Structure 1
Amino acid sequence: MTPKRLTATALAALLALTAPPLRAAEETAAVPQAARPVVTEIVAAEATRLRSFPGVIKAAVETSLAFQTSGRIATRPAELGDVVKAGDVLATLDQITLAEDVAAAQAALKAAQAAADLAAQSLTRVEELNRRGVASTAQLEAAIAERDATAASARAAEADLTSAEDAERYGTLRAPADGVVITVDADPGTTVSSGTSVLTLATEAGREAVIDVPTEVLTILPKDARFTIAPRSPGGAAIPGRLRLIEPVADSSTRSHRLRITILGDAPGLRLGSLVSASLDSPATPVLTLPRRAILDAEGSPRVWRIGAGRKAEPVAVTLGQSLGERVIITTGLQAGDEVLIRGIHSVETGQTLGERIEE
């Protein structure tokens, strides 16, 4: 066999060995690669995204009640949760001690008046003796000073008696209005001073829902924000509410603000302490937000990747508004229902086909 023939035979064998792998590679290249799944978010109004906040029903007016005088609490008929009417006795001070104080003040007043009367009579005698030249001017001045001092002591004793009588009269604590006792701060036997809270009364002036929201939520709340209040108990009907007050001081631990929402209309099923859920009603112009990490070139020409027809990536220029924590308000460029890429935004090209949506 000639060398040329050997070379041709070896070449044929080599082609035979390499042909199947080449065909396999061509077949593999012909199979389309599946588009990778992506993490996206469906743009929704912020009021919808926030959904609802847990809360509790409280009275619109809560009054701390205290005695106007000091003393020892003898009785406290009102207990936590009691429903009371205006004028009902809620607590009393020790009447025996108060009566003794009045008696002691009366005795002190009588003694002071007797001393004042005696000093006045003594002054009359000294004045006559001084007129006759028997009593000196110094004696007259001393008698006048004694008269004035005893008269002042009598006036002080009279004031003490008035104070003791007032204390006796103020020894009964009554309900100023119809309501419910929501806290009890002092028990029978406790000595309290004037103004020390004995209990707190929630009056019938109205009901409101109290919720706590993150600080960033305040940005989207209008002054007259409307809410829907839904009882947590089964079968309860939802009722409307209107924002009444945003407490200015945030909670030091949670950094949340307390909102007080006035309940509009009758709500017989909502009692004090009832658990509710408060959801923010969608405003006429919805507030749209996205995570800040979904924004490309946020400092220059901000844009996002919107998933268009055929699940193809398309860049969309947006206008940014105020920040809401880790999110930012989108004022123009998007509308509710758009699907926006929020992860892997730097590894996507225009027109790239993306896979199915994955939620975070």
Structure 2
Amino acid sequence: MKDTIARPSYRLVLLAVCAALSACGAREPAEPPPRPAPAVEVRPDADPAVWTAPGVIAAPESTPLSFRQAGLILRRHAGLGDAVRAGQVLAELDPGPWRQNLESAQARHQAAREALDVAERQWRRDQAQGREGLIAQAQAEQTRAQLARARAEFEQSRQALAHARDQMAYTRLAAGHDGVIVAEQAWTGQNVAAGQPVYTLAWGDGLEAVVDLPERRVAEIEPGQAAEVEPVARPGARLAARVREVARAADPANLGFRVKLRLDSVDPALRLGMTATVRFRAPGAAGARYTLPATALFHREDRPAVWVVGADGALALRPVEVAAYGADTVTISAGIEPGQVVLAQGAHTVSEGQRVQAVPYQPHAAAPGGDGR
């Protein structure tokens, strides 16, 4: 009886084991892990067409201010960095000597005026007596000559008085424009010659950047050319500018060619005299470029492309534009962006959507499981 009861249970166990083994055999095999794939991160090339030069922020115009005559500076009313208005008096000469000249000119002019009045009255009397035949013709001619001489002396005195007044006015140095004093060249108590600079006034609308370029660079610059200005006081700020003027001759002091660039907009933080870095681009230079290993390039229907590795390791084919081919590199000008990861080897051994594990690219190393192209 015991054997009869145990035999069915044994059969049930065997059936359960066979069913389990059959289920295991029908299960799909596990997905293999992503294969390692050499890859590189996209980084922009250093652009050899872009070069820099040191510059200075300046006003469009700069004018030296000087007295029109020599003298002793008695007072100064402005200093370095002051903003001034047109017509504002900036400095004065000792007016003593010129005041004496003015007083003498005024006295001579008054005497000449009185002499002219006497000569005119005498001429009118002689004319009346001459019509009545009371004086000789010679007397009338002599009176007319005296009148002419009196008129000439009066005119000379008038001009001398105007000159003396101008000299007196020239003892005051005034600003010709609204602007900023950017240099001082003479001081109170100093004797200056006529035309000797006392101040330098910067004026004009807007701001400019001024650079001195060597002769090997100035040939690449032309008026209207675009550039960027980065003030040292504002790192990272790129201000758009255009070349306004290129000097036709070198400065004898430094043998540099002066180039002036007009800023498209004025930054309120800028001050005259600030230093800056000016970035030039040669005319016709291209934008950003990216150099990759030649083995990264793939062609689909005769159009160049590269495999971009996604964040999850999935591959996506991206059409690109090739700017240049090197011995073992290719330069891409469009189609990829900085920071993307691109398959560097085995481009012909993978497919769209395939997952890979990006590993650092080692030049001249064969691609795993591929032909190394």
TM-score range, shorter chain: 0.5 to 0.7
3-state SS in 2 of match to 1:111: helix
| In 2, Cα distance between equivalents of 1:73 and 1:222 | 44
CA contact (8 A) 1:112 1:157 kept: yes
Letter of the 2:103 counterpart: A
Q: Which runs of 5+ in 1 are unaligned?
A: 1-42, 288-307, 311-333, 341-360
Whole-Å Cα distance in 2 between the matches of residues 144 and 213 of structure 1? 71
Deviation at 1:62, TM superposition (A): 1.2
What's the counterpart of residue 168 of structure 2? 168
Distance, in Å, in 2 between the alignment partners of 1:112 and 1:202 is 46
1:143–1:257 distance in 2 versus 1, CA, 3 Å: same
Q: Does 1:220 align with 2:245?
A: no
Which amino acid in the other structure matches residue 220 of structure 2?
I
- Residues 253/68 of structure 1: CA separation in 2 closer, same or farther (3 Å cut): closer
8 A Cα contact 2:207 2:266, kept in partner: no
User: 3-state DSSP class of the match of 1:220?
Assistant: coil
Q: Could you tell me which residue of structure 2 aligns to residue 82 of structure 1?
A: 82
The alpha-carbon deviation at position 249 of structure 1 amounts to 0.5
Cα drift, residue 158 of structure 1: 1.9
Q: Whole-Å Cα distance in 2 between the matches of residues 138 and 257 of structure 1? A: 75
In structure 1, what residue type is equivalent to 2:269? Answer: G
**1:73-222 to 2 correspondence within 5 Å?**
73-124=73-124, 126-127=126-127, 135-188=135-188, 189-193=190-194, 197-203=197-203, 205-222=205-222
Tell whether the 8 Å contact from 1:228 to 1:281 is kept in structure 2 after alignment.
no
| Shift in CA distance, 117/167, structure 1 to aligned 2, threshold 3 Å | same
Q: For residue 258 of structure 1, give the secondary structure of its aligned residue in structure 2.
A: strand
Q: What per-residue deviation string (whole Å, max 9, x for no partner) do you get for residues 143-188 of structure 1?
A: 2111110121112212222333344345433334332212234444
Amino acid at match of 1:111: A
Report which stretch shifted further, 122-131 or 107-116. Answer: 122-131
Deviations 1:253-303 (A, max 9, x none): 65432211112223233322112111114655449xxxxxxxxxxxxxxxx
How many Å separate the matches in 2 of 1:58 and 1:336? 44
What is the SS of the residue equivalent to 1:202?
strand
Structure 2 contact 53–278 (Cα < 8 Å) conserved: yes
Q: Distance in 2 between matches of 1:282 and 1:81?
A: 36
CA RMSD of aligned residues (A): 3.7
Whole-Å separation in 1 of the counterparts to 2:328 and 2:80: 53
**Cα separation, partners in 2 of 1:165 and 1:222, compared to 1, 3 Å:** closer
Aligned to 2:56: 56
Separation of aligned partners in 1, 2:262 and 2:121: 71
Structure 2 unmatched ranges of 5 or more: 1-44, 288-292, 296-322, 330-373
Counterpart for residue 29 of structure 2: none
**Contact 2:49–2:285 (8 Å) recurs in 1:** no
Shift of 1:191: 4.7
CA–CA distance in 2 between the matches of 1:89 and 1:208?
A: 27
Is the alpha carbon distance of 1:58 and 1:147 closer, same or farther for their aligned partners in structure 2, counting shifts above 3 Å? same
Q: Deviations over 1:96-154 (max 9, x none)?
A: 44433332222111111222233334445555666676754333322211111012111
Per the TM alignment, residue 247 of structure 1 is displaced from its structure 2 partner at its CA by 0.8
| SS of residue matched to 1:265 | coil
1:241 CA displacement: 1.7
Change (3 A) 1:266 1:227: same
Provide the rounded CA distance (Å) in 2 between the counterparts of 1:228 and 1:150.
Answer: 70
The verdict on how the C-alpha distance between 1:74 and 1:118 changes in structure 2, with shifts beyond 3 A counting, is same
Instruction: Write the distance in 1 (CA, Å) between the matches of 2:88 and 2:327.
Output: 62
Q: 1:97 to 1:253 in 2, by over 3 A?
A: closer
Q: For residues 121 and 192 of structure 1, what CA distance do their matches in structure 2 show?
A: 47
Answer whether contact 1:53 1:279 (CA < 8 A) is retained.
yes
Take 2:328 and 2:212, find their aligned partners in 1: how far apart are those partners? 30
Match of 1:47 among 43, 46, 49: 49
Richer in helix (by share): 1
Q: Distance in 1 between matches of 2:46 and 2:327?
A: 8
Q: Which residue of 2 aligns with 1:36?
A: none
Partner of 1:277: 277
Indicate the larger mover: 223-232 or 134-143: 134-143
CA contact (8 A) 1:72 1:192 kept: no
Q: 1:225 to 1:78 in 2, by over 3 A?
A: same
Residues 68-110 of structure 1 show CA distances to partners (whole Å, capped at 9, x for unaligned) of 6665543222223333344432112333444333322221111
**Match of residue 248 from structure 2:** 248
In the other structure, the counterpart of 1:325 is none
Match of 2:357 in 1: none
Q: Alignment length, in residue pairs?
A: 254
Using a 3 Å threshold, how does the CA distance of structure 1 residues 91 and 112 change in structure 2: closer, same or farther? same
Partner of 2:231: 231
Percentage identity across aligned positions?
31
- Matched residue of 2:49: which SS? helix
Larger Rg: 2
Sort the Cα spacing of 1:169 and 1:220 in 2 relative to 1 into closer, same or farther, 3 A.
closer
Aligned-partner residue type, residue 190 of structure 1: N
Give the whole-Å Cα distance in 2 for the aligned partners of 1:336 and 1:252: 45
